[in-house]
Amino acid sequence: MAILFDSTSRLFTLTTAHSMYQMKADRYGVLLHTWFGMKGSAFDYSYRIAYADRGFSGNPYDAGDDRTYSLDALPQEFPVYGSGDYRSTALKVRYPDGTAACDLRYLSHEIHKGKYSLPGLPSLYDTLDGNNQPRGICDPTEHDAKSDTLIITLEDTRRMFYVHLYYGVMEDLDIITRAVCVENHSGLDIYLENIQSVCVDYLHGSYDLHTFYGRHVKERNHQRTPLGHGIHSVGSTRGTSSHQYNPFLILSDRDTTEDTGNCYGFSFLYSGDFLGNAELDQYNQTRLLLGIHPDNFCYCVKPAERFHAPEAALAYSAQGLGRLSRIFHQAYRTHLCRGKWTAKRRPVLLNDWEGVYFDFDGDKLIQMARDAADLGIELFVMDDGWFGKRDLDVSGLGDWTVNEKKLGCTLKELSDQIHGLGLQFGIWFEPEGINEDSDLYREHPDWAFTVPGKQPTRSRLQLLLDFSREDVREYIFSHICQVLDSARIEYLKWDLNRSLADLYSASLPAKRQGEVMHRYVLGLYDMLEKLTQRYPDMLIEGCSGGGGRFDAGMLYYTPQIWCSDDTDAIERLSIQYGTSFGYPVSTMGSHVSHCPNEQTRRITPLNTRATVAMSGTFGYELDVNKMTEDEKTIVKAQIREFKEYYDLIQYGDYYRLTDPDTADAYHGWEFAAEDGSEALLCIVALQIHPNGPGRWMCLKGLNADSIYTVNDEEYPGDVLMNGGLLLPTAAEEYESFRIHIVECPAV
């Protein structure tokens, strides 16, 4: 078992294939954090803690006159507000008498075979049952589980509540998960004002904090910042994980590279407000916290109720950032994404949005679908504009009835015609949005987020529905199902095109309005879970203005997410590069769009647009009827090539060879088979110069002792990895190359 407990020292040691996580309940029952990093002996690492007179830091009452024992200086597993620890803390509880100072001590623990799951929340799973649900720690069929669960219970010294700390140890995946449950065992209401899902304290070290910032159409830019004294934080109060910051953080040693050095990854499986804090304290200790953002959060836990905080996934790598990313890639592909599309090849699609926007009818869509089928495209997606009064994005949201007048036919007739061409059919929805110019808003204005007595904050004349309310969700869900049941539909794109504002729910009393944002996210998950259960064969793609909700929480329900509304291939290099640190290629929605590009007006070769889009789910988003015959010939070849390399791209090991923002003329990345039998090298020429120097790219993930064929030439694996491959000379700016490397059969 990967969980060891020493009853004498009350020491907990959790081990994965290459990492170790350790904590202990000390003599006062305080749960100390003692180690997270390289796997080693299950020795008590608390010997590393230095005790000294800490002066103004203060001491617990039961420590007596021991001025060396201060929670303001000790590494803790779950530090709480009001305990004498003045650093950022993981929990703040408001008691019935208005006070907020609490004190947690170790009470008990349980060790189980299998991985825990969380009610109403996404989590990594060990195995799934026949209904696509995680088998939990109480499932009798879980005897073959490869994961283990530790539950440590802490009790408030005022005897008001318990805190259950959940740890999932996924040994083979090199992943440890954390979650928190607060159980009210008093007879009174308590209020959670802050709850973080993970806290890790590092006694010493100089670290860099890696975060992923951006904006709409420019998401997840990699930023590496040396940690100095103080609090360094990123987060979102927009109701979604947001375009601006991503709930994935990395701490690394200062000298860590892609291939060497220590680094620690923290991923939050949640799609709403979040806060990630890294604090370097007065004693040069580093604390990292990740959880729900407290600004819009105050949750009432009634007597005998439990509150479950979302899960966080942790991983450690001693072999650099690349290895850390591949740990998360494998875990999320195989133990977070669910359903048949996790392992089944996904269809190459054509989305009509950038081809026609709102300007279409049924005949136009059939014309596009006919050409798409001739090219080898397998799925046709009808995007926005097919429902209600919807010829611009300022009206119609909420009225999920097919505009048969615009289409010139029923949805079933359109779907049947598209299927008759040999294509599957998909459709776009924005279920969370509502326009004031809609029948639904005129009938139920109270269903939208608005603050009484205040004019609402609009975004494209759009408001948002109160998904914290079950009646609102049931109405929208029933209308979506009516549409989906009326025709043969294999794909659904779930979009959200604004941030949350004007938070007020008519279904909650004044004292509980701080629950709205979290209840909204739970409502979203409830809707998505019902959708996946009712339509288990449907491929669902998440979207929020592109990458505004690209997070691990959504991947539990949608195995792919539209990476960004920016479809420019050169812009996408940085966006997909940053995304790759925490998320696998198989989750990144990426399309070939037309040129000049809609967002940048940049002209990029068709081959390069495909090179970039192939490093994702791959599809097209343009008017195929306007393509030349030469372009159509190229597209046919691209689709054949993508299908040939599909398994290598989607399931192979991904290597970042250069950073597109700092690359010296050529940017490169690579997909390598896990066994090193083949690789695909992708190159984009960012700059060209006449009479320029030669360019080499060192490959990764090959077998050093094997011989490989590259463009009919043979090279030893170690030569390709150490000496590099001489790259072709680009004849034009932004030209790209896809180079297949194949291991020669052993003689």
Please tell me the distance from the alpha carbon of residue 253 to that of residue 260, in angstroms, as a whole number. 10
The dihedral sign for the CA sequence 132, 134, 136, 142: positive
Please tell me the distance from the alpha carbon of residue 181 to that of residue 6, in angstroms, as a whole number. 24
Active site residue 551: yes
For residue 75, give the DSSP letter.
-
Which residues are within 8 A (CB) of 613 and not within 5 positions of it... i.e. 6 or more apart?
Answer: 569, 572, 590, 591, 592, 619, 620
Q: Between 569-579 and 606-613, two packed helices, what is the crossing angle to 10 degrees?
A: 10
Q: What does the DSSP assignment read for 178-200?
A: EEEEEEE-SSS-EEEEEEEEEEE
Q: What are phi and psi of 461, to 5 degrees?
A: 55, 35
Q: Burial level of 62, CB count in 10 A (0-12/13-18/19+)?
A: middle
Query: Which of 631, 641, 659, 733 does the annotation list as catalytic?
Result: 631
- Of 357, 360, 488, 347, nearest to 414 (Cα)? 488
Provide the token pair at 111. 């060790």
For residue 326, give the DSSP letter.
H
Per the CB < 8 A criterion, the answer to whether 42 and 62 are in contact is no
Active site residue 732: no
- Of 306, 308, 270, nearest to 290 (Cα)? 270
Please tell me the distance from the alpha carbon of residue 2 to that of residue 434, in angstroms, as a whole number. 49
Query: Which of 171, 311, 393, 551 does the annotation list as catalytic?
Result: 551
Tell me if residue 82 falls in helix, strand or coil: coil
Which residues are within 8 A (CB) of 143 and not within 5 positions of it... i.e. 6 or more apart?
Answer: 113
Provide the token pair at 160. 């008001």
Please tell me the distance from the alpha carbon of residue 260 to that of residue 324, in angstroms, as a whole number. 11
Provide the token pair at 114. 């299998």
Beta pairing class for 91-94 and 31-38: unpaired
Active site positions, annotated: 551, 631
